[in-house]
A and B are shown apart, each in its own frame.
Chain A
């Protein structure tokens, strides 16, 4: 199964953009790149996903490298409520989902 690699933790200042990187060098052609986040005492929350093209939604943007071996989740203006663990996951079919340890994002006021 294709695996992802993320930094253990990152810090960012409030109201500044945040770029969360993810490496997935063994990605296959059918793998979608999904991002979820988990706030304390809550279930994971879907953030965004994409296949080849960059994607934008109300929560974030997803930038996918041309060779698809890496991607970056972009939070345009971090708030304290964005402090969470962010998971980058590859999914090719519904049951093939492996959560890694994710990146713990700290937001500094």
Chain B
């Protein structure tokens, strides 16, 4: 079975450039999540979607970050302009909608390691 697919696996770019991270969730999953992981702050939820609609973006650090989900099989996380402090590993995850809120596991991709110089 194809899992969550993220691209690129690694991205190195200069400060001020636009960065676009991509995610393909598992087919049939209703929820999509974007996380960021750093040594200092651990794994943080940035935003999540239900049926392509953003539900909670309270974890997005600032206006330079934006996320879209134009269809059920694709999502992007964009940083514009990028800054060195955005360097982190960004994960995408997806899950089914359970009958009860917390009763479905999340399936994670292998992440994008982003370095902003």
Contacts and interface: CB of A to CB of B under 8 A. Distances in A.
B101 A94 contact: yes
B48 A94 contact: yes
Interface residues on B, range: 20 to 34
Interface stretch (A7-15, A28-36, A75-83): A28-36
Interface stretch (A18-26, A44-52, A63-71): A44-52
B95 A43 contact: no
Contacts of A93: 101-102
Contacts of A44: 43, 91, 93, 106, 108
**Chain B binding surface, main DSSP class:** strand
B109 interface: yes
Interface string A66-103: 00000000000000000000010011111111111100
Contacts of A31: 102
**Chain A binding surface, main DSSP class:** loop
Nearest to A35: B105
Contact of B108 (A41, A43, A90, A94): A43
Contacts, number: 66
Contacts of A46: 105-107
29 contacts: A30-B101, A32-B100, A32-B102, A36-B106, A41-B110, A42-B111, A43-B93, A43-B110, A44-B43, A44-B91, A44-B106, A44-B108, A45-B108, A46-B105, A49-B102, A49-B103, A91-B101, A91-B102, A94-B31, A94-B33, A94-B95, A94-B102, A95-B48, A96-B102, A97-B45, A98-B45, A99-B42, A100-B42, A101-B42
Interface of B: 4, 31, 33, 42-45, 48, 50, 55-56, 91, 93, 95, 97, 100-111
